[in-house]
């Protein structure tokens, strides 16, 4: 297994709309294993293929405290959304910044698992936030897109400043 490189804002590849997976083969299985390895190594709760510069509709997540509930969704589609919630989000492609985002409280998602079987699952609360955040990545959308221009500019400047400090340390 391999820990993949996570690309960071403003890498233009974060803006690509990912392509559907058409072949469920050993290479896909290996890629999903590498995405889990990468997510766990980075202490993330989710990861979209877009973030490792692979423009394919693949996401992984694990919101459990014990880090033992891996979930991989291929070609996910939202069937239903209900309610709303505000959650403080971060993103591995935006290190060091966090902001409140409003999203649906529950989402019902149709997807394929890594074997190509169709699955329909419902998510609620923080896991629903994570799934929506990852599905956005597959559309080229990122969490700061939901913020006001002022707030977005402030946070991106903060991220840039931290980056420069880290580089000169």
Residue selected from 52, 91, 101, 128 as contacting Ni ion according to rule CB under 5 A: 91
Residue selected from 14, 28, 60, 91 as contacting ligand GNR according to rule CB under 6 A: 91
CB of 91 to Ni ion, least distance (A): 3
> Looking only at residues 4 through 43 of this chain, which bind ligand GNR when binding is defined by CB under 6 A?
none
Report the C-alpha gap between 126 and 105 in whole angstroms. 8
Active site residues: 134
**Which residue in the block uniquely carries the two structure tokens 């420069």?**
164
Q: What is the DSSP string of 71-114?
A: EEEEEEEEEEEE--EEEEE--TTSTT--EEEEE-SEEEEEEE-T
* Count of residues near ligand GNR by CB under 6 A: 17
DSSP element (H, E) containing 122:
strand 118-124
Report the C-alpha gap between 62 and 13 in whole angstroms. 24
> Is residue 133 part of the contact set for ligand GNR (CB under 6 A)?
yes
> Is residue 57 part of the contact set for ligand GNR (CB under 6 A)?
no
Single out the segment in contact with Ni ion by CB under 5 A; choices: 20-28, 88-96, 108-116, 121-129.
88-96
CB of 64 to ligand GNR, least distance (A): 13
DSSP 8-state assignment for residue 51: G
Contact 100, 86 (CB under 8 A): yes
> Is residue 103 part of the contact set for ligand GNR (CB under 6 A)?
no
Question: Which residues in this chain contact ligand GNR in the complex, by CB under 6 A?
Answer: 44-48, 51, 87, 89-93, 129-130, 133-134, 137
Question: Which residues in this chain contact Ni ion in the complex, by CB under 5 A?
Answer: 91
């Amino acid at each position: 297994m391999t820990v993949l490189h996570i690309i960071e804002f403003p890498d233009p590849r974060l803006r690509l709309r990912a392509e559907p997976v058409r072949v469920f083969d050993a290479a896909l299985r290996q890629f999903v294993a590498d995405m889990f390895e990468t997510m766990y190594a980075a202490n993330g709760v989710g990861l979209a293929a877009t973030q490792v510069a692979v423009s394919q509709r693949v996401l992984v997540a694990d919101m459990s405290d014990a880090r033992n509930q891996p979930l991989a969704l291929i070609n996910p589609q939202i069937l239903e959304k209900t309610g709303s919630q505000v959650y403080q989000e971060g993103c591995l492609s935006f290190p060091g910044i966090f902001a409140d985002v409003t999203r649906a409280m529950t989402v019902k998602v149709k997807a394929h698992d890594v074997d190509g079987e169709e699955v329909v699952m419902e998510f609620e609360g923080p896991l629903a936030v994570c799934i929506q955040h990852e599905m956005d990545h597959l559309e080229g959308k990122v969490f700061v897109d939901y913020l006001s221009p002022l707030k977005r500019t402030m946070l991106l400047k903060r991220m840039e400043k931290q980056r420069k400090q880290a580089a000169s340390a």
